[in-house]
Amino acid sequence: MTSFDDMPWGPEKAVFVLEALDVALWCPVLAAKFAVARLDDLRVILGEVCATDPGLARCYPLDAAEREAVEARFDVGLDLAALGSRTIEVHLSRLRRQVTHVPYLVHTGFELPLLLEGRKTLACMPYEYPPHRFPGEDSFDRWVERGVLHKEVVLEPFEPNPRFEGLRTAYYTPKGEEWRIPAHKLLRRASGPGGGWNETFERLEGMLLGYEDWQNDWWIASRPGRLLGRPEALTTMR
């Protein structure tokens, strides 16, 4: 059977993902992909909220009417009834091609359940502020309140900016792994005077985040030359 990624959408079509997120774990539990030939067809459904996003690169929470409009227009659907009594949010986002063919689970979007399982040992959630919260932060903080996870927040002010005051990074680790937060901060600091980001820094970051050695090997080998000089350790989808 031909996989979705091998289907001949054509270069003129953008691919989007409709996801049902389990709010308690803040991760997708159902997803459906679909192609869009004209972005304006989606803009009509999303309305003014996407006015400053010409490529529709952001993630958009959908209400029931918007979800039904997307499903009807693009012949796509999510079987939400199969999820039972879970509290669900439906989000729409553009497919990130760079993580399509990775041969392991990329942690992005699954940080909380992986932290709880012990498969992820550090999560970094960087978002511009205000607001002083990231989407899903309440779901993470419930486990901090229960003593399962540890949390630290770092604010990095910007130069005068008409929209944002700075970058706010929320760090989470399982209890007992708190040392990974200062280690990650030190890694970022060292990459500056050390001549910029490189493969060694990338590998160390992957180890801190909880990726296995073979996963770091694959990630680095698949990006020859792309990691050199990477100015921000948090920009890669990991």
Q: Does residue 124 sit in the same domain as residue 208?
A: yes
| pLDDT of 4 | 41
Range of the domain at 136: 111-221
Kindly state whether residues 129 and 178 are assigned to the same domain. Answer: yes
Structure confidence by residue, pLDDT tens digits, 155-167: 999 988 888 999 9
Same domain, 170 and 143: yes
What is the pTM assigned to this prediction? 0.84
Is 133 a member of any domain? yes
- The answer to whether residues 127 and 209 belong to one domain is yes
115 and 91, same structural domain? no
The answer on 135 and 68 residing in a single domain is no
Residue 228 covered by a domain: no
85/166 same-domain check? no
Does residue 23 sit in the same domain as residue 67? Answer: yes
Is the residue at 129 inside a domain? yes
Encode the chain in three state secondary structure. Answer: CCCHHHCCCCCCCEEEEEEEEECCCCEEEEEEEEEECCHHHHHHHHHHHHCCCCCCCCCEEECHHHHHHHHHHHCCCCCHHHHCCCCEEEEEEECCHHHCCCCCCCCCCCHHHHHHHCCCCCEEEEEEECCCCCCCHHHHHHHHHCCCEEEEEEEEECCCCCCCCEEEEEEEEECCCCCHHHHHHHHHHHHCCCCCCCHHHHHHHHHHHCCCHHHHHHHHHCCCCCCCCCCCCCCCCC
119, 197: one domain: yes
In this predicted model, what pLDDT tens digit does every residue of 35-70 receive, in sequence order?
A: 999 999 999 999 999 999 999 999 999 999 999 999
| pLDDT given at position 235 | 44
C-alpha span between 112 and 25 (Å, rounded): 6
117 shares its domain with 29: no
Is the model more confident about 222 or about 29? 29
Per-residue model confidence as pLDDT tens digits over 168-202? 999 999 999 999 999 999 999 998 876 788 999 99
Give yes or no: residues 175 and 75 share one domain: no
Shared domain for 9 and 88, answered yes or no, is yes
Q: What's the domain count of the chain?
A: 2
For residues 67 and 131, give the distance between their C-alpha atoms in angstroms, rounded to a whole number: 26
Q: What is the domain-level CATH number for residue 33? A: 3.10.50
